[in-house]
Amino acid sequence: MAALGVIATWLLPAILVNRTRQKNMAISTINFPHLLERLSLLVIITFGEMIIGISDYFGVETLSIFSVAIFSVVLNLFMVYIVEVDHLIEDKQPSVTGNAAIYWHYLIFFGLNFITVSLKFLGEDDVSARFSVSLLYLGILLSTIGVLLHATYNKVSHQFGSSFYCLQISLPVFSFLISFLFLEQKLVLATLAALSTLIQAVSFVRFNMKNQLN
């Protein structure tokens, strides 16, 4: 029953909002800019929890290149999200309810929480590196898909092409496959994740700057 209740709370807003729009398309039931702001605040809190989760890597005795690589993963993923939500999305859309953005943020939240757990596990010797890596890239893939789905709200000048989608999805997949060759070398695993997410972040920043100039 509890599971049915949770599922109902996820699905009912979509059903109710669609009925409202059908009755009167001139009425916007949700303030889209305010909705984005509140969703962004929840994501920022989730990133804050991620920072707390990796804080053990930054002690006097544990600080290392591995720590920097782990932090880079967090920083790069945050950059990807912020560029999309703060710079690419057209928030002045009075006829948009933003209901889809709520559901797409579930992917981001699940993904970021998977990443938080996996980054913590990656430094633990008694946790399988195969499991940690699988959980890490599952989280990166989920959060990436969640971010990319928001492209339907993007400005007309900032619509993604098929090559951009392919790059964003193939990067974590390729890095995931390569990681299985280095399961015994945790620094290499962290570095691969850092480089993969860095390319994602840089591509988002370059895409934004390029289209602003145009």
Higher pLDDT, 154 or 97: 154
Contacts 24+ apart (CB under 8 A), 85-88: 85/36, 85/39, 85/40, 85/43, 85/150, 86/40, 87/158, 87/208, 88/150, 88/151, 88/154, 88/155, 88/158, 88/204, 88/207, 88/208
pLDDT digits (tens, 9 = 90+) for 98-134: 888 999 999 999 999 999 999 999 988 888 999 999 9
pTM: 0.87
Residue 7: predicted pLDDT: 57
Mean pLDDT taken over the chain? 87
Between 206 and 96, name the one with better pLDDT.
206
What is the average pLDDT across 155-162? 92
Q: What is the pLDDT of residues 172-201, one digit of tens each?
A: 999 999 999 999 999 999 999 999 999 999
